[in-house]
Amino acid sequence: MPAENLIEKLLSLKGEVASVPSPADEKELESVRIKYLGKKGVLSILSQEMRSVPADQKPEAGKLLQEIRSTLEGLVGSAEIEIKRNKVRREIEGEFFDTTLPSIQPEFGSAHPISAVMDEITDIFSGMGFQVEEGPETESDLYNFEKLNFPPEHPARDMQDTFHLLDVEKILRTHTSPVQVRAMEKYGPPLAVIAPGKVYRCDADVTHSPMFHQIEGFVIDKNITMGDLKGTLKAFATRLYGADVKVRLRPSFFPFVEPGAEMDVSCVICGGAGCRVCKQSGWLEILGAGMIHPNVLKASGIDPDQWGGFAFGLGIERIAMLKYGVDDIRLFFENDMRFLRQFKGGV
């Protein structure tokens, strides 16, 4: 076929297509699609005729063909959207909505009990003027142990079964105490810091989990005494457990404090009379504490002759277990909705 003929045909088709009205329904849409864009449609036939067009005229014919295809595709595409839209509109108009029916209430989630206890404790200390700090969960031996007065190979390291990361000289922090050093180095004295976060130990039974949460707290200032430590912790325990709670400090050992202590509160279950939870002793241990060791102050760039401080660290899961009477720590991490829903009313 001579090229002029195909080009003429295409020009005339272009005019025709420009005046095709937008299809009003699915039937009209389908017939436009079949007539022009179908396998045996006009465009397909004209495309085949392209083969016999001389090479120098192919560009013009090809361009026209492409223009016509785009116009048709645009026409069909927008008609398709409009037809669907009209269909939905008709359906909605035909439906009856009873606007007086009560709506379906979405189910509200709630804070995880561990997050709630952590927030509550953080709030108590923030209220006393402590600033909140965070530290990295992957730590160096230097911050997790050495600057905290655990010498290399010292047996005290065995108190905390450590996860070592392969290929890098890092560990998962075993406690939040490294944040003491990091904050002292960052800000210098005086300081009052609280550091909540996740910690990790190679440890698993009904009261120990490989990942758990601690809150570290410490104060650095002049003339700080054990009395300041006890007063602060007593104020904290009173806010957490109520005015009737009693506290006591017992001597204990942590390399980064001297003297070191553990604090017990009168049993929150039996009020001190003796029960299964407190093993008839009337007391529950809730945290470790002490006066910050001069070696830790030195390692953090603080002169121990000028400044002193106290520190404490507590396990959140232990506090939450006592608070809610939970006897297996794993329940906190299994994401069983039957367990978690019980804390919905707020904690």
Residues of this chain that interact with ligand FA5 (CB under 6 A) are: 160, 175, 177, 201, 203, 208-209, 212, 214, 216, 254, 257, 288-290, 311-313, 315, 317-318, 329
Complex with ligand FA5: residue 43 or 291, whichever CB lies closer: 291
Complex with ligand FA5: residue 42 or 156, whichever CB lies closer: 156
As a whole number of angstroms, the distance between CA 27 and CA 195 comes to 69
As a whole number of angstroms, the distance between CA 13 and CA 245 comes to 93
Contact by Cβ (8 Å): 43, 71: no
- b/e 168-202 (16+ beta carbons within 10 angstroms → b): eebbbbbbbbbbbbbbbeeeebebbbbbbbebbbe
State the nearest-atom distance from the C-beta of 81 to ligand FA5, in Å.
58
Complex with ligand FA5: residue 76 or 194, whichever CB lies closer: 194
Complex with ligand FA5: residue 147 or 201, whichever CB lies closer: 201
State the nearest-atom distance from the C-beta of 288 to ligand FA5, in Å.
3
Contact by Cβ (8 Å): 311, 218: yes
In the chain the first and final C-alpha atoms are separated, in Å, by: 86
Complex with ligand FA5: residue 149 or 214, whichever CB lies closer: 214
Residues 6+ apart with CB under 8 A from 23: 29, 31, 32, 75, 76, 79, 83
Query: For residue 148, which phi and psi values (nearest 5 degrees)?
Result: -95, 20
Complex with ligand FA5: residue 219 or 329, whichever CB lies closer: 329
Which residues partner with 195 through β-bridges? 216
State the nearest-atom distance from the C-beta of 269 to ligand FA5, in Å.
17
Complex with ligand FA5: residue 193 or 329, whichever CB lies closer: 329
Nearest-CB residue for ligand FA5: 315
Secondary structure class of 272 (helix, strand, coil): coil
State the nearest-atom distance from the C-beta of 98 to ligand FA5, in Å.
53
Contact by Cβ (8 Å): 276, 266: no
State the nearest-atom distance from the C-beta of 183 to ligand FA5, in Å.
13
State the nearest-atom distance from the C-beta of 188 to ligand FA5, in Å.
20
Of 222, 216, 51, which is closest to residue 122 (Cα–Cα)? 216
Complex with ligand FA5: residue 14 or 208, whichever CB lies closer: 208
State the nearest-atom distance from the C-beta of 216 to ligand FA5, in Å.
6
DSSP for 132-157, please give it. E----SEE-HHHHTGGGT--TT-GGG
Complex with ligand FA5: residue 133 or 216, whichever CB lies closer: 216
State the nearest-atom distance from the C-beta of 287 to ligand FA5, in Å.
6
CA dihedral 42, 45, 46, 49 (to 10 degrees): -170
- The one-letter code for the residue type at 276 is R
State the nearest-atom distance from the C-beta of 111 to ligand FA5, in Å.
19
Contact by Cβ (8 Å): 325, 224: no
